[in-house]
């Protein structure tokens, strides 16, 4: 069978069957998609293909767009400053503790960057499943701070691995600083513009229309920002994220838009990304010497270090809330895959560490999403008994 046809049929089957299989085996849908992706590539049902890589990257960018869609800057600026300060301290503690941890165990330098990574991409899926809960809202706010730091770190590491320490590296840093400055100025400008002329929002995105103008505008902003980041040779994921934040901040009058965009993403593009992640990990590679041991070590380290840092929020969340908070931040799947891939392609890490990092990222998703489900149900039982 032609490889392109095999890829289309296989992706269709996995996207359709994953939720059904998830209910049967009691494992969250995302890990099921990753595992099935690993199985089909290992069995030779499909092979690597540039089109699959392209669509998967689009799914990754759209996932970051959905993450940004959870962030309304107007609401974020109204968050208690003590929470913002604790969020910054939490992120700083993660990097400081990780630095000492990596030196103590003599780990490769890439782990100093990888272990503290925070991605709230999967929080969009968690919020979709569990609803608007206090620990989820706090996790998103604090995770936003950590994700911005993580994306900056990813961009810096990408520039360092690609150019080394030199003029091009420092120029990339200046570009990144310039992007944040321009985005901030544009936010201020657009904020003042819609304040003086509020009709602009409904003109660009009417409340009632039969042309799906809201989705068209959202996709235009999404692709425009991704193209801009690509042109500037910065991390393209940053563009998707900024686009989501822009839509969430200035077009709150359209209450149905986030649901429409989420349904589109989680029903098609995002699952393809997770299937693709699975295809990067063939089953036989798991049995390399020490791979499972290292992957398990990384998984435990990422959860443990986050638990230590998250004790800052014990007052706001309580112990069980902290546990849920910790596990929601212990799944930086997309960023771990991105950093591991960058490091591997530039020969900064060996095959062993690359496979261990990918396996650890998958283990974290399976373990943490399963534990979140267990802990959440446990809390409900306690509440009902009261």
Tokens representing 362 are 């998958």
Other C-beta atoms lying within 10 Å of the C-beta of residue 317 = 18
Q: Is the pLDDT of residue 381 over 60?
A: no
Which single residue is written with the structure tokens 């693709």? 276
Q: Can you give the C-alpha Rg of the chain in angstroms? A: 21
Q: Is the pLDDT of residue 374 over 80?
A: yes
The CA distance from 131 to 41, in Å, is 35
Other C-beta atoms lying within 10 Å of the C-beta of residue 286 = 17
Q: State residue 386's pLDDT score.
A: 39
Q: State residue 20's pLDDT score.
A: 92
Give the model confidence (pLDDT) of 58-90 as tens digits. 988 888 888 788 777 777 777 888 888 898 999
Helix residue spans in 329-350 (DSSP H)? 333-345
Q: Is the pLDDT of residue 212 over 70?
A: yes
The CA distance from 247 to 382, in Å, is 39
The CA distance from 334 to 274, in Å, is 9
Sorted by sequence, the CB contacts under 8 Å of residue 43 that are 6+ apart come out as none
Residue of higher predicted confidence among 353 and 283? 353
Tokens representing 92 are 């700083």
Under the banding of pLDDT at 50, 70 and 90, the label for residue 375 is: confident
- The answer to whether residues 272 and 282 touch, using CB atoms and an 8 Å cutoff, is no
| Residue among 35, 39, 43 nearest 18 (CA) | 35
- H or E element in which residue 361 lies: helix 351-385
166-186 residues labelled b (16+ CB within 10 A) or e (exposed): eeeeeebeeebeebeeeeeee
- The answer to whether residues 232 and 178 touch, using CB atoms and an 8 Å cutoff, is no
The CA distance from 255 to 178, in Å, is 32
| Residue among 323, 194, 208, 306 nearest 256 (CA) | 208
Q: DSSP string covering 139-205, please? A: HHHHHHHHHHHHHHHHHHHHHHHHH-SSHHHHHHHHHHHHHHHHHHHHHHHHHHHHHH-THHHHHHS
| Residue among 56, 109, 51 nearest 237 (CA) | 56
Q: State residue 1's pLDDT score.
A: 56
| Residue among 97, 124, 132 nearest 312 (CA) | 97
- In Å, how far from its chain's centre is CA 289? 30
Tokens representing 84 are 């913002």
Q: What is the average per-residue pLDDT within 262-288?
A: 83
- The answer to whether residues 86 and 329 touch, using CB atoms and an 8 Å cutoff, is no
DSSP 3-state helix, strand, coil percentages of the chain (rounded to 5)? 80, 0, 20
Most confident of 27-31, 123-127, 185-189: 185-189
| Residue among 375, 269, 234 nearest 318 (CA) | 375
- Alpha carbon of 216 to those of 163, 210, 233, 243, 264: distances in Å? 37, 12, 26, 13, 13
The mean predicted confidence, pLDDT, of the chain is 84
Half-sphere exposure of 341 (CA within 13 A, CB side): 14
Give the 3-state secondary structure of residue 90: helix
Most confident of 69-73, 118-122, 172-176, 342-346: 172-176
Residue of higher predicted confidence among 148 and 310? 310
Q: State residue 219's pLDDT score.
A: 92
Tokens representing 88 are 């910054």
Largest CA distance in the chain: 65
Q: What is the average per-residue pLDDT within 352-372?
A: 86
Q: Is the pLDDT of residue 184 over 90?
A: no
Q: Is the pLDDT of residue 210 over 80?
A: no
Q: Is the pLDDT of residue 30 over 70?
A: yes
103-129 residues labelled b (16+ CB within 10 A) or e (exposed): eeeebeebbbbbbbbbbbbbbbbbbee
Sorted by sequence, the CB contacts under 8 Å of residue 100 that are 6+ apart come out as none
Sorted by sequence, the CB contacts under 8 Å of residue 235 that are 6+ apart come out as 151, 154, 155, 158, 229
Q: Is the pLDDT of residue 204 over 90?
A: no
């Amino acid at each position: 069978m032609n490889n392109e046809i095999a890829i289309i049929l296989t992706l269709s089957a996995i996207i359709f069957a994953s939720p059904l299989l998830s209910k049967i085996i009691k494992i969250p849908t995302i890990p099921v998609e990753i595992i099935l992706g690993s199985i089909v590539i290992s069995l030779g049902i499909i092979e690597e293909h540039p089109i699959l890589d392209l669509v998967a990257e689009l799914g990754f960018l759209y996932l970051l767009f959905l993450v940004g869609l959870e962030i309304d800057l107007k609401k974020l600026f109204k968050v208690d400053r003590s929470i913002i300060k604790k969020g910054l301290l939490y992120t700083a503690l993660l990097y400081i503790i990780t630095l000492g941890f990596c030196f103590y165990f003599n780990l490769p330098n890439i782990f100093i960057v990888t272990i503290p990574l925070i991605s709230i991409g999967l929080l969009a899926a968690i919020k979709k499943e569990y609803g608007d809960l206090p620990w989820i809202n706090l996790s998103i706010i604090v995770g936003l701070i950590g994700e911005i730091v993580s994306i900056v770190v990813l961009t810096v590491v990408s520039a360092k691995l690609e150019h080394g320490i030199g003029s091009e590296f420092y120029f990339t840093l200046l570009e990144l600083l310039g992007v944040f400055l321009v985005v901030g100025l544009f936010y201020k400008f657009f904020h003042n513009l819609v304040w003086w002329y509020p009709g602009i929002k409904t003109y660009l995105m009417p409340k009632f229309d039969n042309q799906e103008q809201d989705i068209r505008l959202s996709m235009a902003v999404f692709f425009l920002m991704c193209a801009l980041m690509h042109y500037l040779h910065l991390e393209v994921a940053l563009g998707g994220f900024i686009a989501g934040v822009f839509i969430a901040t200035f077009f709150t009058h359209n209450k149905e838009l986030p649901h429409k965009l989420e349904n589109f993403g989680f029903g098609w593009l995002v699952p393809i990304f997770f299937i693709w992640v699975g295809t990067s990990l063939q089953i036989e590679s798991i049995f390399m010497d020490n791979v499972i041991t290292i992957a398990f070590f990384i998984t435990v380290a990422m959860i443990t270090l986050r638990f230590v840092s998250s004790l800052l929020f014990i007052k706001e969340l309580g112990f069980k809330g902290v546990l849920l908070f910790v596990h929601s931040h212990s799944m930086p799947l997309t960023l771990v895959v991105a950093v591991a891939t960058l490091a591997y392609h530039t020969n900064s890490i060996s095959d062993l560490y690359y496979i261990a990092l990918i396996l650890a990222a998958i283990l974290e998703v399976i373990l943490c999403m399963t534990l979140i489900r267990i802990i959440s149900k446990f809390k409900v039982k306690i509440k009902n008994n009261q």
